[in-house]
C-alpha cells in the first residue's frame, strides 16, 4: 500500500470521526434544550420556598387568580395574575429555562410596592403550559405577545406596560420588543445576546476543543431547523433590541458562568447611544442571582429606572 493511500485513509478516518462527533454532540445539545425535562410546579414552589425567595405568607398575600391563553401555535399557556393598587400599571413576567413562573415571584415586591398589576405564566413546554419543545425565545416571543393582548383586556386602563424576564425569559422579552408598540419599558435579568454565541461559550465552559465547536453548532442548528422549523441565526436578541426605542434595563451578575455578563455589556453598549438603556452589573452574583446577592443595589437601580419611565 502506497504512502499516499495510507495518508488518504487517515484523513478520511479523521474526517469521519470529526463529522460523527459534531453530529452526536450537536444533536445532543439541541435535544437537551428543545425537549429538556422541566420541573413541576410543586417542585419549583418548594425549591423557591426553601431558598428563601418568598415565604408561604407572602405567596398567599398575592391572591393569585389562574388564567389561560391560547397560543397561535395550537397549545394553551397557563399562568396567574394579581391585581395591583394602580389600574394604570401592568407588568408581565417570564421565567427561565426548565423552571416555572414561581421563579419570577421574588421580583414581585419591587413592582407591587409601585401599584403594578402582576401577570406571570409558564412558557411553552414548561410547567402546566402546552407545547412540545422550548425554542430559545423564537416562538416564545409570539406567546408573550398573546399574553400582552390578554393583559390589556384584563386591565384596560393600563398606560404603563412593562415586561420582565430572567435568562430565557429575558431573551424572550428582548426578542418581543419589536412586536409590541404598547410596551413602555423592559427589564432583562441575565439575558443572552445570541444563542449561537451562548452555545460557543457553553462548549468552552465544558472544555470542548475549539476545532469541534463549529461543526457541533452546525449540526445543532440543522436539528433545530428540522425539528422546529427555525434557525439559531434567527435567535439574536442583540439584533432585536435595536428595533425598539423603549427604555431597557439590563441586570447581570459578574460571576455568571452560564450566560456571561459580557452579553449584557455588549447589548447595552450597542444600544445606549441610540435608545434609553441602563446596565447594572452585580459583583459576586451568579446566574439569576443578582437580586439575592445585592438586593439594595438592585432595588435602587430599578427604582431610579422606573422613576424615569413613569415620570
pLDDT in tens, 149-171: 999 999 999 999 999 999 999 99
Note the pLDDT of residue 64: 98
Same domain? For 221 and 172 the reply is: no
The total number of structural domains in the chain stands at 2
pLDDT the model gives residue 222: 94
Judge if 224 and 109 occupy the same domain: no
Is residue 178 domain-shared with residue 62, that is, in the same domain?
yes
Domain containing residue 256: 39-194+237-310
90, pLDDT greater than 70 = yes
Q: What pLDDT, on the 0 to 100 scale, is given for residue 297? A: 98
Residue 18 or 24, more confident: 24
Residues 146 and 64 in one domain: yes
The CATH number that applies at residue 55 is: 3.40.50.1820
Same domain, 207 and 295: no
Same domain? 190 vs 203 = no
Distance between CA atoms of residues 119 and 220, nearest Å: 34
pLDDT at 279: 98
Comparing 5 with 306, the larger pLDDT belongs to: 306
pLDDT band at 28 (very low <50, low <70, confident <90, very high): confident
pLDDT of 16: 73
pTM, two decimals, is 0.94
Q: Are residues 146 and 229 in the same domain?
A: no
Q: Is pLDDT of 60 > 70? A: yes
* 118, 245: one domain: yes
Q: Are residues 11 and 147 in the same domain?
A: no
How do residues 243-265 score in pLDDT, each as one tens digit? 999 999 999 999 999 999 999 99
Instruction: Give the residue among 119, 137, 229, 114 at the shortest CA–CA distance from 191.
Output: 137
Query: In this structure, are 59 and 154 located in the same domain?
Result: yes
Residue 1 is predicted with a pLDDT of 63
Whether 18 and 153 share a structural domain: no
293 & 223 share domain: no
Cross-strand pairs, 81 = 65, 119
Amino acid at each position: 500500500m502506497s504512502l499516499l493511500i495510507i495518508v488518504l485513509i487517515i484523513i478520511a478516518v479523521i474526517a469521519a470521526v470529526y463529522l460523527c462527533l459534531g453530529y452526536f454532540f450537536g444533536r445532543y445539545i439541541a435535544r437537551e434544550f428543545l425537549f429538556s425535562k422541566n420541573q413541576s410546579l410543586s417542585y419549583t414552589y418548594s425549591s423557591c420556598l426553601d431558598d428563601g425567595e418568598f415565604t408561604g405568607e407572602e405567596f398567599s398575600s398575592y391572591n393569585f387568580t389562574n388564567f389561560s391563553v391560547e397560543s397561535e401555535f395550537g397549545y394553551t399557556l397557563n399562568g396567574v395574575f394579581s391585581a395591583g393598587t394602580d389600574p394604570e400599571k401592568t407588568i408581565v413576567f417570564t421565567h427561565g429555562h426548565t423552571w416555572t413562573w414561581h421563579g419570577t415571584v421574588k421580583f414581585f415586591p419591587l413592582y407591587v410596592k409601585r401599584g403594578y398589576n402582576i401577570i406571570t405564566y409558564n412558557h411553552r413546554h414548561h410547567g402546566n403550559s402546552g407545547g412540545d419543545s422550548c425554542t430559545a425565545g423564537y416562538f416564545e416571543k409570539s406567546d408573550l405577545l398573546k399574553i400582552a393582548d390578554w393583559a390589556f383586556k384584563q386591565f384596560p386602563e393600563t398606560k404603563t406596560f412593562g415586561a420582565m424576564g430572567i435568562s430565557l425569559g429575558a431573551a424572550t422579552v428582548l426578542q418581543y420588543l419589536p412586536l409590541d408598540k404598547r410596551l413602555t419599558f423592559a427589564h432583562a435579568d441575565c439575558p443572552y445576546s445570541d444563542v449561537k454565541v451562548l452555545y460557543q461559550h457553553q462548549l468552552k465552559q465544558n472544555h470542548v476543543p475549539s476545532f469541534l465547536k463549529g461543526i457541533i453548532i452546525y449540526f445543532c442548528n440543522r436539528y433545530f431547523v428540522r425539528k422546529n422549523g427555525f434557525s439559531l441565526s434567527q435567535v439574536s436578541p442583540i439584533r432585536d433590541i435595536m428595533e425598539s426605542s423603549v427604555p431597557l434595563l439590563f441586570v447581570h451578575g459578574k460571576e455568571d458562568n452560564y450566560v456571561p455578563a459580557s452579553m449584557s455589556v455588549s447589548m447595552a453598549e450597542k444600544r445606549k447611544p441610540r435608545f434609553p438603556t441602563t446596565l447594572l452589573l452585580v459583583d459576586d452574583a451568579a446566574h439569576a442571582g443578582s437580586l439575592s446577592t445585592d438586593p439594595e443595589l438592585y432595588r435602587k437601580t430599578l427604582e431610579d429606572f422606573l422613576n424615569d419611565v413613569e415620570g
